[in-house]
Amino acid sequence: MEVELQLAVENLLARYVHALDDGRLEEWPEFFVEEGRYRITTAENLERGLPLSIIYADSRAMLRDRVSALRHANIYEAQRYRHGVSSVLVERIDARTVRATSNFQVVRTMHTGEAILFASGRYLDRIRVDAASPRFEEKIVVLDSRAIDTLLAIPI
Amino acid sequence: MEVELQLAVENLLARYVHALDDGRLEEWPEFFVEEGRYRITTAENLERGLPLSIIYADSRAMLRDRVSALRHANIYEAQRYRHGVSSVLVERIDARTVRATSNFQVVRTMHTGEAILFASGRYLDRIRVDAASPRFEEKIVVLDSRAIDTLLAIPI
Amino acid sequence: MEVELQLAVENLLARYVHALDDGRLEEWPEFFVEEGRYRITTAENLERGLPLSIIYADSRAMLRDRVSALRHANIYEAQRYRHGVSSVLVERIDARTVRATSNFQVVRTMHTGEAILFASGRYLDRIRVDAASPRFEEKIVVLDSRAIDTLLAIPI
């Protein structure tokens, strides 16, 4: 077990979800390397090897476009999200890259006060760790459920 | 990243929620310094800068009064609470104090067996870390929802 | 605080829940020592000192039987489970054994996409830590609720 590495990955995940939960969407692309890949899919699609994605992006530029779309549609402001991330497993791939698997769940609270379990699943991440601040090379969000209840897919 | 400090803060938070979830309310004030401040508010109030609080206390003595009131009203015994705390970010303020931000959610189980998501939100903590055992100088519980469903506000 | 020990226990718990959530039930007995004990009970039973258990096993062989029964009944395949484990407190018992207390909750997602909070509670674990890979000597799953909604009790 590499103690520093484990905590550095947990710290990246913590900063990532706090940015989302605080509504600081503009910071979201900065958690990825320039050619970083982001995908939201379902466990069912992943198991069947289907390439279907709810969101797919393979650069920071695409992530920034997604943020613009969400801001333009005023989608993100109507509710609050709260992530819980746990059971983070870190595995070295090579000197500069690690694989991280973790569980997440997201609670959504509406303006009315009503709270629901919005999503649960796994993060399958490949993380560049050789720089001062680690970043995602690839982040795959695997939802347990088939569908999520939003008009426009949001970052998870 | 200061490894020991990170784990010391996570350990404080873990001991805190286990005391609450085990119903050991009398230990609750002991997690604070003598003049410690505790506040439960909502994200909405905090964003608008409103001083409204669901609970406000600025000393251990006030926290002890709250515990007495809860014991007297037999409020706490009627159900079980289960906290999940995650994504703990620790930042040094100075040699003896840190700021810690984390996500929490609380599940409540009634005697009938029915379980609901009782609360979710953020802990915004200022923690004294120079003593053998770290304690809260200030703990602000920021609820995602506007209201919580209890007759008498309980510690979270 | 023993940093390595804390993270080794968290890592065991993380591998344990990922095995369950991934449906790799055959790996479940391997997280226990040969004479390992596993019990699912309720907080109510535990407080009253009642020996009632929803599952009780005191060897890997019994755990393997349980897995066979679940596979035979096709119970486990019909839904997905997602564990969240947090607030892990580790205490040394002796040179080769520790006690670990943690909170968990499990979300279940049906094939229809419907997700519910399936279970919440505490893990009370005694863990052998002197070998290369730590294992459970005893794992007691204490449910907050009186009952869980399954035809055949599953590992938690």
Q: Give the separation between CA C132 and CA B46, rounded to whole angstroms.
A: 48
- Contact call for residues C19 and C31 (beta carbons, < 8 A): yes
Extract the tokens encoding B12. 């404080």
> What's the Cα-to-Cα distance from C78 to each of C70, C73, C81, C148, C150, rounded to whole Å?
11, 11, 10, 16, 11
For residue B76, pLDDT over 70 is answered with no
User: Residues of chain A with pLDDT > 90: what percent?
Assistant: 77
Query: Between A1 and A46, where is the model more confident?
Result: A46
Which chain A residues contact residue C17 at CB under 8 A?
Answer: 87, 103
Under a CB-based contact definition with an 8 Å cutoff, are residues B71 and B77 in contact? no
List alpha helices for chain A, DSSP H. Answer: 3-21, 43-47, 60-73
Residue of C1, C89, C101 with shortest CB distance to B4: C1
Question: CB of B86 within 8 A of CB of B102?
Answer: yes
pLDDT at B77: 67
Strand partners, A90: A100
A6, A86, A144: residue with CB nearest C115? A144
pLDDT at C151: 62
Count of CA atoms in the C-beta half-sphere (13 A) of A54: 23
Do residue A144 and residue C7 have CB atoms under 8 angstroms apart?
A: no
**Amino acid identity, position A64:** R
pLDDT computed for residue C153 by the predictor:
81
What residues are paired with B17 via a beta bridge?
none
What is the arrangement of strands in the sheet containing A97-110, beginning at the earlier edge strand? A55-57, A32-42, A135-143, A115-128, A97-110, A79-94
Amino acid at B42: T
Which residues of A fall within a CB distance of 8 Å from B43? 80
A vs C: CB pairs below 8 A: 60
- DSSP assignment string, C19-67: HHHTT-GGGGGGGEEEEEEEEEEEHHHHHTT----SEEE-SHHHHHHHH
Is the model's pLDDT at A149 over the cut of 80?
no
DSSP state letter for A26: G
What is the CA A88 to chain-centroid distance, rounded?
14
Using pLDDT thresholds of 50, 70 and 90, give the confidence band for residue C132: confident
Relative to beta strand C97-110, strand C115-128 is antiparallel
Residue C78's SS3 state is helix
What lies within 8 Å, CB to CB, of A76 at 6+ separation is A23, A25, A70, A154
pLDDT tens readout for residues C56-91:
999 999 999 999 999 988 766 678 999 999 999 999
Helix B3-21, helix A3-21: angle, nearest 10: 60
- Quick check: B67 pLDDT over 90? yes
pLDDT score for A151: 62
Question: Residue B79: which residues within 8 A CB-CB, separation 6 or more?
Answer: B108, B109, B110, B111
pLDDT at res. C77: 67
Output the pLDDT for position B113: 82
Contact A101 C17 (CB under 8 A): no
C-alpha span between C18 and C27 (Å, rounded):
10
Cα–Cα dist B105/B117, whole Å: 7
Does residue A76 have a pLDDT over 70? no
pLDDT band at B92 (very low <50, low <70, confident <90, very high): very high
Q: Which residue of C has its CA nearest to A10?
A: C7
Q: Are A54 and A38 in contact (CB under 8 A)?
A: no
Closest chain B residue to C148, measured at CA: B113
- Whole-number pLDDT of residue A73: 84
| Nearest-CB residue to B43 (from A8, A13, A80) | A80
Cross-strand pairs, C105: C84, C120
Q: Which residues of B touch A7 (CB under 8 A)?
A: 1, 3, 6
What is the 8-class DSSP label of residue A119?
E
Phi/psi of residue A10, each to 5°?
A: -60, -35
Number of neighbours of residue B141 by Cβ within 10 angstroms: 21
- Using a cut of 0.90, tell me whether the model's pTM lies above it: yes
Note the pLDDT tens digit of each residue in C108-121. Answer: 998 888 899 999 99
Mean of per-residue pLDDT scores for chain B: 93
Q: What is the pLDDT of residues A82-126, one digit of tens each?
A: 999 999 999 999 999 999 999 999 999 988 888 999 999 999 999
Q: Mean pLDDT over residues A71-84, rounded?
A: 85
Residue A74 has pLDDT above 80, yes or no: no
Closest Cα partner for A9 from A113, A144, A128, A106? Answer: A128
pLDDT confidence of A146, banded at 50, 70, 90?
confident
> Which amino acid appears at position B155 of this protein?
P
Average pLDDT of chain A is 93
- The confidence band for B153, taking pLDDT boundaries of 50, 70 and 90, is confident
Tokens of A16: 């990532």
**Mean pLDDT along residues B47-65:** 93
- Per-residue b/e over B1-37, b at no fewer than 16 CB within 10 Å? eeeebbbbbbbbbbbbbbbbbeeebeebbbbbbeebb
B65 or C149: which leads in pLDDT: B65
Distance to chain C for B4, nearest Cα, Å: 7
Looking at every residue in chain C, the average pLDDT score rounds to 93
Contact B3 A4 (CB under 8 A): yes
Give the Cα separation of C79 and C59 in Å (integer): 27
**What is the pLDDT confidence band of residue B108, given thresholds at 50, 70 and 90?**
very high
